[in-house]
């Protein structure tokens, strides 16, 4: 049931959530700056203090730029590797079979890094 008390509680929790998210964001920024300086940018790291272990994991996502890749594949007459979007499985197979070379697609692949902070009790 929706009551005034429920709405008041919701508003309070929303305010607290915003404060918590801001504080966690500031802490994550400090953690990432620490790891950038101690182990390097986009490198995983670990720090153990007392009963806690702080870890930074790096997730890497690479994908082919749609327009550039289609243009390159057309220019090297590899139309079978093109659908409406570059077929990454077929491209990888063509690379593996050395039908095409990495340099044929230079400038087409983008790399995205995602930094993940994990804090958990030490085992």
Q: What is the mean pLDDT of the chain?
A: 89
Q: What pTM was estimated for this model as a whole?
A: 0.58
Domain residues of the chain, as ranges?
A: 1-61, 63-104
Host H or E run for residue 58: strand 52-64
| Tens digit of each residue's pLDDT (9 = 90 or more) over 70-120 | 889 989 988 888 876 788 899 999 999 999 998 898 888 888 889 877 666
Q: 55 with 46: CB under 8 angstroms?
A: yes
């Amino acid at each position: 049931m929706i009551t005034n008390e429920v709405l008041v509680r919701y508003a309070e929790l929303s305010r607290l959530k915003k404060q918590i998210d801001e504080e966690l964001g500031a802490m994550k920024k400090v953690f990432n700056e620490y790891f950038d300086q101690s182990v390097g940018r986009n490198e995983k790291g670990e720090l153990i203090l007392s009963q806690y272990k702080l870890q930074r994991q790096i997730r890497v996502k690479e994908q082919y730029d749609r327009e550039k890749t289609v243009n390159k594949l057309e220019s090297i007459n590899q139309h079978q590797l093109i659908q409406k979007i570059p077929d990454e499985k077929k491209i990888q197979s063509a690379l593996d079979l050395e039908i095409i070379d990495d340099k044929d697609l230079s400038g087409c692949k983008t790399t995205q890094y995602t930094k993940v902070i994990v804090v958990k009790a030490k085992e």
